[in-house]
Amino acid sequence: MMNTQDRLERAARALDVIDRRRGETGDERLGRGIEHFIVRRELQELEQDILADPGALEIFLVRRK
């Protein structure tokens, strides 16, 4: 299982590849769906990590019912 830092670094590398390909092709839409998927997935994972172990952020969290 990957830790949070490794997962984010891998996602950042993938986003960098997409960005470089956009520059090479001139197509700003290239990889948009993949980019959105990666960002959405990483935000969900970070949210789950924080809720599982909020640490110092616990005082700022509001539980929803």
Provide the residue-wise pLDDT of the chain in tens; the chain has 65 residues. Answer: 678 889 999 999 999 999 999 999 999 999 999 999 999 999 999 889 888 998 998 888 887 77
Residue 48 has which token pair? 């789950």
pLDDT at 1: 61
Sign of CA dihedral 24, 25, 31, 32: positive
pTM: 0.78
Reported residue count of the chain is 65
